[in-house]
Amino acid sequence: MLETILLIVSVLIIAVVLLQGDKASDAGQIISGGNETLFQNMKERGFELFISRFTLVLGVIFFVISLILFLK
């Protein structure tokens, strides 16, 4: 039962991470010298905030289930 839930959570994590915004292009500006926006405090709003928090929740669930299965 827990293995099935872990599989579902794993697939959901992959899907949610793919839905997230492209933050890698911001990190790529370090090399190109466009770092004036690198250290600005950019707030997530709306759907982006929801996806970010949902990813965090799924990650915690994944960790807890994996730990339970390991200790079992």
pLDDT along the chain (72 residues), means of 10: 96 94 60 59 81 96 97 90
At 32 the pLDDT is 62
Residue 38 domain-assigned? Answer: no
Q: Provide the domain limits for residue 12.
A: 1-17+45-72
**In a domain? residue 58:** yes
Neighbours of 38 (CB within 10 A): 11
Residue 27's pLDDT is 55
Is residue 35 a part of any domain in this protein? Answer: no
Q: Is 52 a member of any domain?
A: yes
Would you state the pLDDT for residue 25? Answer: 57
Please give the model's pTM, rounded to 2 decimal places.
0.73
Crossing angle between the packed helical segments 2-19 and 47-71, to the nearest 10 degrees: 150
In a domain, 54, yes or no: yes
**CB-CB contact of 62 with 16 (8 Å):** no
Indicate the length of the chain as a whole number: 72
Specify the number of domains making up the chain: 1
Burial of 9 (0-12, 13-18, 19+ CB in 10 A): buried
Could you report how far apart the first and last alpha carbons of the chain are, in Å?
13
